[in-house]
Amino acid sequence: MITKPVPPTVPLRSSSKGRRPMSLTRASITSVVASIPALLGFVPHDSLVLLSALTHEQGKVSTGPIARIDLAHITHDPGDAVKQFNRLCGDLPVLCVTGILVRTVDDNAATDDSLPLRAEVDTVVARLAEHGFIDVDVVHVPAIAEGARWRSYLDADRTGVLPDSATTPAAVAAVAAGRTIAASRDELAARFTPAPEHVRERLQPRVTDAVELAVIDQHRLVAARVRLARADAAIRAAGHGELPADEAAIVDLAATFATPPFRDALLAVPDDTARLAAENLVLHLWRHTCDPTAGQLATVAAVHAYVRGDGTGARIALENADPEQPLTGLLSRLLGHAVPPSKLDDLIQNISVDARRTLLSEPAVDQA
């Protein structure tokens, strides 16, 4: 199951028409379905996506927590999938829930009487009702692609045709923020493809020595200042697409980002562009290292992905992270409860500023 923080807002309109509550209009459903790749960060296949709409003051409605579940899991244990989605929503003011079941079918058979997994969908709807989600619609779409037709499981008269997903406001916002919309989750996960094993094994002794030096440098003012300056410069270079190729620089930077005081000090960056640069840099370093350093670097990449709003990227990074790190556990819990990235951003900024101040403070001098 893939979960992510509350995603970017997709404009929604509500309507009381229809035989069931179904607050979202056909146009809104079409917009929601077409926006799914941008909200998830990839185009889902053989999946059920559950998306909540939240109601706010003055009648404003926006997208809330979103979850993607493999269809195999829906077939095996639909109750568990709904339970996890309910946990994501917590006490949020959920107006309605839309389910999007993505599965290829024979175009000639794609009628309301032959939509796939109808029994499983009925079970999901029933389980959602048990958790208090009454205003629910579930639609089927063979693929999230321009021209694909979606059909409602609950109302045969509700149907629509998808526009080009790249033209949705959510996609435009994602691209402007530097987020990747991959063709599949596997394509996103492929970012975590390590360098050849012989390269990592050759560098690992040097990385180990460099980490030991970084641990010493955290207590030496001048050395800490120089080390932070090298890392800051590397993040700026990554923002221009320049990643370190020199092995000495890779080893040095890997040790810096894997050592907690320096790691924390480097987490605060000015904007999402810099966060993406830092994430790309750390991912590049990850590719050239072995555990335990690699597991520590993956956690750093997860932080930057999470704060950028890329919950899927953060979860993939955590799959490669050291599970024993407190920060890894914290991020996993935040993802599980769909905590908005903005709340984590404030925490990260405070931790980072304090860590940098501590590293760059002159040592106290005892006086007689």
- By percentage, how much of the chain surpasses pLDDT 90? 58
What is the reported pLDDT for 176? 80
What are the residue ranges of helices labelled H in 218-310? 221-238, 247-258, 260-265, 272-287, 293-307
| Token pair for 286 | 């990850």
Q: Which residue has the higher pLDDT, 323 or 12?
A: 323
The pLDDT tens digits of the residues spanning 85-137 come to: 888 887 888 989 999 999 998 655 555 567 999 999 999 999 999 999 999 99
Say if CB 278 and CB 235 are below 8 A apart. Answer: yes
The candidate with the shortest Cα–Cα distance to 282, out of 260, 247, 254, is: 254
Whether omega before 292 lies within 30 degrees of 0, making that bond cis, reads yes
Candidate from 38-47, 57-66, 268-277, 302-311 with smallest mean pLDDT: 57-66
What is the reported pLDDT for 365? 46
Say if CB 273 and CB 239 are below 8 A apart. Answer: yes
Phi-psi domain of 173 (left: phi exceeds 0; alpha: psi -120 through 50; beta: other): alpha
What is the reported pLDDT for 65? 83
Candidate from 166-175, 245-254, 275-284, 315-324 with smallest mean pLDDT: 166-175
Rounded distance between C-alpha atoms, residue 85 and residue 1, angstroms: 10
The pLDDT tens digits of the residues spanning 299-343 come to: 999 999 988 878 888 999 999 999 988 889 988 888 877 677 877
What is the reported pLDDT for 188? 85
| Token pair for 340 | 């908005």
Quote the radius of gyration of the chain (alpha carbons, Å).
23
Q: How many residues make up the chain in this entry? A: 368
Q: What is the arithmetic mean of pLDDT over 26-53?
A: 92
Tokens 């069931």 correspond to: 20
Contacts of 137 (CB under 8 A, 6+ apart): 20, 22, 24, 29, 96, 97, 98, 99, 152, 153, 154, 155, 158
What is the reported pLDDT for 24? 77
Rounded distance between C-alpha atoms, residue 8 and residue 35, angstroms: 10
Report CA-CA distances (Å) from 313 to 29, 184, 320.
25, 12, 11
Checking if the pLDDT of 156 tops 80, the result is: yes
Q: What is the arithmetic mean of pLDDT over 139-161?
A: 94
Rounded distance between C-alpha atoms, residue 135 and residue 97, angstroms: 6
Checking if the pLDDT of 282 tops 60, the result is: yes
Which strands make up the sheet holding 94-102, listed edge to edge?
A: 2-4, 61-70, 47-55, 94-102, 136-141, 149-152, 159-161
Confidence category of residue 177, pLDDT binned at 50, 70, 90:
confident
Checking if the pLDDT of 160 tops 90, the result is: yes
Mean pLDDT of all residues in the chain? 87
DSSP-derived 3-state class of residue 226:
helix
What is the reported pLDDT for 198? 95
What is the reported pLDDT for 6? 45
What is the reported pLDDT for 20? 52
Dihedral of CA 244/249/250/253: which sign? negative
Checking if the pLDDT of 261 tops 90, the result is: yes
What is the reported pLDDT for 151? 96
What is the reported pLDDT for 113? 60
Q: Which residue has the higher pLDDT, 327 or 229?
A: 229
Our CA angle for 83, 56, 154, nearest 5°, is: 50
Checking if the pLDDT of 15 tops 80, the result is: no
Q: Which residue has the higher pLDDT, 188 or 208?
A: 208
What is the reported pLDDT for 368? 43
